Chains A and B, each alone.
Chain A
Amino acid sequence: MKKIILILCTPLFLFSQEKLETTRIYNNQFQWNTNLLFESDGLNKDFLNTMLYGGFITDSLKANWINLGDDDNVFYSEISNGFSFRNTKYNFGVSAYDRNLINASFSDDLMKLGFYGNFNYQNETLDFSNTNIRIDRFQQYKIDYTFNYNATRITVGASFLAGNHHASFIVNNCSLFTDTNGIRLDIAYDMHAFVTDTSSLDPFARNGNGLALDLSTDFILRNHKINLYLHDAGFIMWNRKSTTLITDSNFSFSGVVITDIMSFNDSLLDEHNSVDELKTENKSVKTYIPANFGFSAMRPSTSEYFETISVGVNVKWQPYYDNSPLSFSKIGQGIRESNYAPLYWASAVSKLKYFDALPTLSYGGYSNDFNIGLALSKGKRNRFTIGTQHLEDLLAGDKAKSMSVYFNFLLQF
């Protein structure tokens, strides 16, 4: 119902516009950006709604969710708000963003265990390898400068990252074998867990500092405007109040060993109820924020419907932890561990009478699927843009695997 209203009202909203401003060059640009993104390659909105709003998860729901997508489930969420200022006369820009990221990947087997338990998987091995969950909250303060060389522009930027909170749970290898009738559980795990100081959950608590770099270049090549970029290549160093757990073990559990099974009482279990103390350590840890790099190419369109057409590839880089120096293998590691498939995209700009439309078709990303994006922009000097990267999911209802909305206010003066 809400979707219908939104769809129906959008044209009204769009058509009730002010008179178009004439083109004029402004030296200063101030923007506000808000980006809400939930993206998954398997889990759908139904899953998200249930997680957010609660309720009883039926066996039917469990089966549906587990059967969605492939054996591994990627889930990514980003909520960011911020503003930026750019002076085109002096070619510098500053920005400040508040960013909240969740990047998770877990196997269907983990969902099976979590939702069903292990009773239905006797004599089977549930594999939870390559499960990772990373949650970040930080503020990014960026400054950049653009160098102009004829038709080529090179922009360099540096960001200071004020880290608030981080939690990560990385499981390289983990499996659970349940023997018939539960007489034995074979558990193997190799995991890292890290969490920043939890004594204060102030959203603006300062638990770490970091640095990120930007580098991009624009140049014209055969009537194509080529853009190569590297954004947000950086890390946050979290303080020593953070807690690290690294554990690597495998064991077989056949129950508490007792000598006289006929004299059984549950206090025997209590006596043996000593979980091996997980050894945690307080130390500083470095984690990475997702970096974007890629390229795009844009050229004027010969089509009467589109003004320009752009294509590009975006790749993210976010390794789990700082376990080796930067190298090609580290680059490959970061790409794999980002849970982000290279996004191949194509977009166009369509100048309509009363607004600009920016349709996008892409494949890849966290959803690892085709995505249709659409942004609508209104205004020349002061522009408001609202868009989504997953228009198709907007219409899919509870079966939507992704949901995103972003909007941008641009003021030029």
Chain B
Amino acid sequence: MKKILFITLTTLLLFACKHELEKLTWDLDVIVPIAHTNMTINNLLPDSGLNITEDDNSFITLVYEENFIDMNYDSLIKIDEEFGEKTTTLDSVIFDDVVIADTASVGDAIAQIPGGTIFFPDGSTNAIPAMPNMMSNDTIGINTSEYFETMTLHKGWLVIDLINNFPTDVSNVSMTLINSVNQDIIANFNFPLIPSGTTSTDSVDISGKVLDQSLIAIVNNMDVEESNGPVLITYSDAIITKITLTDIGIIEATAIFPEQELDSKQEEHIFDLGTAQLTEIGVKEGKVTLNVLSTLPNGRIIYSIPSLSKNGVPFYTENTIPTSLNGEMTSFEFDFTGYTLDLTGKENREGGDTVNTIYTQTFSFIDSTGELVTLNQTDSFYSNTEFLFIPEYAKGYLGQDTIEIEESEIAFSAMNDIIVDYLDLEEVNLKLKIDNYIGADAQLELIKLRSENQYGDGINLFENHTIDIGRATLTNNSLQITPFISETIIDADEFIEILPNKIVSKANFYLNPNGQSSTEGFLYPEFPIEAGLSIEIPLSLIATNLTFTDTNELEIENTSEIDIEKVYITIENGLPFSANLSLILLDESNNIIDTLTHNTTVFPAQLDANNIVTNSETTTIDMDYTDFESVNKIVSISSFSTAQNNEFINIYSDYELDITISAKLNKTIGE
């Protein structure tokens, strides 16, 4: 019992003062790298549009390039013209001659003589006595319905031919031609004597006359003269009366108009290209619009431009023209992209080839339907042609032209945000490079080329300086173009040392300043004149407090999980510059929150006797950690000075600035 009691008591005492369980916690200090970057001179330069090049020795040259001249040449050779306007009216319509013939035979005449056929048989030889008034008031019907129903003429001739095939003369022939409907006299004819075997012709102007389809020819009188002795009597011998309506010009007619050509134009057109004298244009984009308005029925037009061809095939089109009822125009558009326009005029033209000229052929027709159609003097056929070409190229003399390039400013941002106490660049080359892809001589007159900085200081490089530019050449008269390259290089260190923020320029550009050359010129608008300005700055300099100011967005959220006690920036400087560094934190209103570091010196890399970097120099900046919650921006102000103040230091691309950000972190484990 006692044993049990003691065991129990002991156990209780042993375990009575049991520890209360607590969280196991302890503090931990950790230092870790956060971020790392390796920067070369390229990274250090502000966004400036400067390109960095290096030679075989990695020596850096900064290059600024900008287009200098921007000219548009489309206007030189753009063709946008309208011509070939032509109206053809009804009076231009041609009507074929109407020919009607009538025959009065010997047999018919002898039959009228009592016993004539007995005394004067066919094939006999007899003397024929005189027969006065053999025909008197005889009528002969003339039907022209085959040609017209009615016709009002503004011009025309009625020609009558009497062909005497009688064996005797006839005399005192009198004829009258009248409209059968209204009995209007159209014409009178008199023939005093028509010897045997001859033709007598008479004509009368029937301008202004109205002709019906049914005409009547009245033979007022015809006497047969006595034969000169016995003559062979052949009954088929006859007097043929042939009436011909010719040179018909219609004011109004209801007729079956024959298929006929209304108008034909084969002509050259000269384009107004100023002083340019072009022989050929390659069409990049082009169209010809043929506008036609026809009140004539069954109109048709054939349009051909022999000067315009593709793959050797000239342009040709034939189109039916619908009759316009309300004056609406019909337009035919033709796309000539890819065509070649020969501007030397008509082939084998008299006087030889010309320039700026094309040759076109236009034929307008009315087609016959075989049916009666009524036309009047208001009916017409109108056409014109519009040309719009944007050339792919042009060949020939481009003419003389002066393009004034107005004064302009090129923003030169490379030096923005840079302040320097002293800057001496060993060398700066400004290069004007002009690549002329035009087959024409040119001249660039630099009226002004000047750099200016924000303080109003300026340096003039050029004033009224002229640069001659030769012409480009083609390869086998076609692309590829070998440009003429003109380079003008001048020393421009003072131009840059003022830290300009703009370059002001003004120039005139002269095309073919010396007039036409014996070499045929050309222009491919896709390959214009390229004029560029480049500034090369070999990075060999002496600088004192060359200061770059940069403002960047910064977003760092504070974390409650880890306390950052200190931030270290370790800079391994492989650049031959010492630097003073200031980092300022701003809020979104650009108010200063804190200065992380002020004028902290970063030591330059070690140099040898030739001012070449041999070893990097390490600098560590430690900063107490700041609450970044309200930080929106960080301003970095870096002032660089070359290690040697009296010797130019070359900068090479392999010079590096190695920056590591590390931080000392406090963490309480277990919380």
Q: Taking the nearest CB of chain A, how far is it from the CB of B612, in angstroms?
A: 26
Q: Taking the nearest CB of chain B, how far is it from the CB of A252, in angstroms?
A: 10
- In the assembled complex, which residues on chain B have CB atoms less than 8 Å from the CB atom of A62? 26
Q: A57 contacts which of B17, B26, B43, B663 (Cβ < 8 Å)?
A: B26
Docked-complex contact B3 and A17, CB < 8 angstroms: yes
Docked-complex contact A257 and B568, CB < 8 angstroms: no
Given A9-B10, A53-B20, A269-B35, A182 contacting B663 (CB threshold 8 A) = yes
Please tell me if A189 contacts chain B, counting CB pairs below 8 Å: no
- In the assembled complex, which residues on chain A have CB atoms less than 8 Å from the CB atom of B19? 49, 52-53
- In the assembled complex, which residues on chain A have CB atoms less than 8 Å from the CB atom of B556? 264-266
Docked-complex contact B29 and A255, CB < 8 angstroms: no
Given A119-B29, A181-B31, A181-B568, A258 contacting B553 (CB threshold 8 A) = no
- In B9-28, the 8 Å CB interface with A consists of 9-10, 13-14, 17, 19-26, 28
- In B592-616, the 8 Å CB interface with A consists of none
Given A254-B660, A265-B553, A266-B557, A5 contacting B10 (CB threshold 8 A) = yes
Given A53-B20, A265-B553, A254 contacting B26 (CB threshold 8 A) = no
- In B616-671, the 8 Å CB interface with A consists of 620, 622, 634, 636, 659-665, 667, 670
Q: A255 contacts which of B21, B23, B33, B39 (Cβ < 8 Å)?
A: B33
Given A16-B6, A119-B664, A262-B552, A181 contacting B35 (CB threshold 8 A) = no
Please tell me if A6 contacts chain B, counting CB pairs below 8 Å: yes
Docked-complex contact A120 and B29, CB < 8 angstroms: yes
A-B contact count (CB 8 A): 150
Please tell me if B30 contacts chain A, counting CB pairs below 8 Å: yes
Please tell me if A115 contacts chain B, counting CB pairs below 8 Å: yes
Interface residue tally of chain B, by bracket?
35 or more
CA distance A259 to B44 in the complex (A): 11
Please tell me if A25 contacts chain B, counting CB pairs below 8 Å: no
Docked-complex contact A115 and B22, CB < 8 angstroms: no
Docked-complex contact A119 and B30, CB < 8 angstroms: yes
Docked-complex contact A57 and B24, CB < 8 angstroms: yes
Q: B555 contacts which of A115, A257, A267 (Cβ < 8 Å)?
A: A267
Please tell me if B101 contacts chain A, counting CB pairs below 8 Å: no
- In the assembled complex, which residues on chain A have CB atoms less than 8 Å from the CB atom of B3? 13, 16-17
Given A57-B25, A119-B29, A182-B663, A255 contacting B34 (CB threshold 8 A) = yes
Q: Which residue of A lies closest to B628 (CB)?
A: A266
Please tell me if B37 contacts chain A, counting CB pairs below 8 Å: yes
Docked-complex contact A264 and B29, CB < 8 angstroms: no
Docked-complex contact A182 and B35, CB < 8 angstroms: no
- In B345-360, the 8 Å CB interface with A consists of none
- In the assembled complex, which residues on chain B have CB atoms less than 8 Å from the CB atom of A119? 29-31, 664
Docked-complex contact A53 and B21, CB < 8 angstroms: yes
Please tell me if B554 contacts chain A, counting CB pairs below 8 Å: yes
Please tell me if B227 contacts chain A, counting CB pairs below 8 Å: no
Docked-complex contact A256 and B35, CB < 8 angstroms: yes
Please tell me if B36 contacts chain A, counting CB pairs below 8 Å: yes
CA distance A2 to B14 in the complex (A): 5
- In the assembled complex, which residues on chain A have CB atoms less than 8 Å from the CB atom of B31? 117-119, 122, 178, 181-182
Docked-complex contact A185 and B32, CB < 8 angstroms: yes
- Secondary structure at the B interface, as helix, strand, loop or mixed, is strand
Docked-complex contact B6 and A268, CB < 8 angstroms: no
Q: A9 contacts which of B9, B22, B670 (Cβ < 8 Å)?
A: B9
Docked-complex contact B555 and A265, CB < 8 angstroms: yes
Contact with A along B35-60 (1 / 0, CB 8 A): 11111000100000000000000000
Given A13-B3, A54-B23, A260-B43, A2 contacting B17 (CB threshold 8 A) = yes
- In the assembled complex, which residues on chain A have CB atoms less than 8 Å from the CB atom of B21? 53-54
Docked-complex contact B29 and A117, CB < 8 angstroms: yes
CA distance A51 to B22 in the complex (A): 10
Docked-complex contact B10 and A6, CB < 8 angstroms: yes
Docked-complex contact A256 and B14, CB < 8 angstroms: no
Docked-complex contact B634 and A183, CB < 8 angstroms: no
- In the assembled complex, which residues on chain B have CB atoms less than 8 Å from the CB atom of A260? 37, 43, 552
Docked-complex contact A116 and B28, CB < 8 angstroms: yes
Contact with B along A168-191 (1 / 0, CB 8 A): 000000000010111111000000
CA distance A166 to B75 in the complex (A): 88
Docked-complex contact A256 and B34, CB < 8 angstroms: yes
Q: Taking the nearest CB of chain A, how far is it from the CB of B288, in angstroms?
A: 58
Docked-complex contact A182 and B568, CB < 8 angstroms: yes
CA distance A117 to B17 in the complex (A): 34
- In the assembled complex, which residues on chain B have CB atoms less than 8 Å from the CB atom of A413? none
- In the assembled complex, which residues on chain A have CB atoms less than 8 Å from the CB atom of B38? 257
Docked-complex contact A13 and B26, CB < 8 angstroms: no
Q: Taking the nearest CB of chain B, how far is it from the CB of A110, in angstroms?
A: 13
Q: Taking the nearest CB of chain B, how far is it from the CB of A20, in angstroms?
A: 15
Given A5-B13, A13-B7, A264-B556, A182 contacting B33 (CB threshold 8 A) = yes
- In the assembled complex, which residues on chain A have CB atoms less than 8 Å from the CB atom of B30? 117-119
Q: Taking the nearest CB of chain B, how far is it from the CB of A60, in angstroms?
A: 12
Docked-complex contact A13 and B660, CB < 8 angstroms: no
CA distance A72 to B663 in the complex (A): 30
- In the assembled complex, which residues on chain B have CB atoms less than 8 Å from the CB atom of A326? none
Please tell me if A250 contacts chain B, counting CB pairs below 8 Å: no
CA distance A28 to B620 in the complex (A): 79
- In A1-44, the 8 Å CB interface with B consists of 1-2, 5-6, 9, 12-13, 16-17
- In B334-378, the 8 Å CB interface with A consists of none
Docked-complex contact A269 and B662, CB < 8 angstroms: no
- In the assembled complex, which residues on chain A have CB atoms less than 8 Å from the CB atom of B39? 261
Nearest 9 CB-CB pairings of A with B: A182-B31, A255-B33, A54-B22, A265-B555, A182-B662, A57-B26, A119-B29, A255-B36, A16-B3
Given contacts A118-B32, A266-B555, 8 further A-B contacts (CB under 8 A): A2-B14, A13-B3, A13-B7, A49-B19, A57-B26, A118-B31, A255-B32, A255-B662
Instruction: Name 19 interchain pairs, CB-CB below 8 A, sorted by A.
Output: A54-B21, A55-B24, A118-B30, A119-B30, A181-B568, A181-B620, A181-B662, A183-B660, A254-B33, A254-B660, A255-B34, A258-B36, A258-B37, A261-B37, A261-B39, A262-B550, A264-B554, A268-B35, A269-B34
